[in-house]
Amino acid sequence: MATSQVERVAVTPAAAQLLRSLRAQHGELMFHQSGGCCDGSSPMCYPAGEFLTGDVDEHLGDLEVGDDETGPVRVPVWMTKAQYEYWKHTHLTIDVVPGRGAGFSLEAPEGVRFLIRSRVLTDDEYRELQATGVL
């Protein structure tokens, strides 16, 4: 599979700042977006490896949230394949807003919650992802 220049996921500056803070407290992080209802429809932030991914999950990409002494800090983003079928034509941006988040997501005690903002991929982005085998 060729590499695409099109990113599937992005992060807002506010969410990146929160992720750096959470990483300082909890170590390496990851996101998982399921297709469930209620909290299951929110992007959930976990310590890396705490949520086990498998054949039913799709790796959408890695968020670059800044640098530390070892280099770029990346946070992988996963989604269930069933949910991905609904969202594969979109670009997803992880943002943070005030409010009570999901009980199991690391930001919950901070009085904020992560959310997904989406936009439809442009025709050029979609074609590039198809050409590289991502779609």
Is residue 114 in some structural domain?
yes
Lowest-pLDDT range of 5-19, 34-48, 110-124 = 34-48
pLDDT at 4 over 60: yes
Cα of 123 vs its chain's centroid, Å:
22
What does each C-alpha distance from 100 to 15, 21, 109, 120 come to in angstroms?
Answer: 15, 18, 8, 28
Is residue 108 in some structural domain?
yes
Is residue 20 in some structural domain?
no
* Structure confidence at residue 30 (pLDDT): 97
Is residue 41 in some structural domain?
yes
pLDDT at 3 over 80: no
The number of domains in the chain is 1
Is residue 8 in some structural domain?
no
Is residue 15 in some structural domain?
no
pLDDT at 96 over 90: yes
Mean pLDDT across 50-72: 89
Is residue 16 in some structural domain?
no
Is residue 52 in some structural domain?
yes
Domain residues for the domain of 93 are 27-130
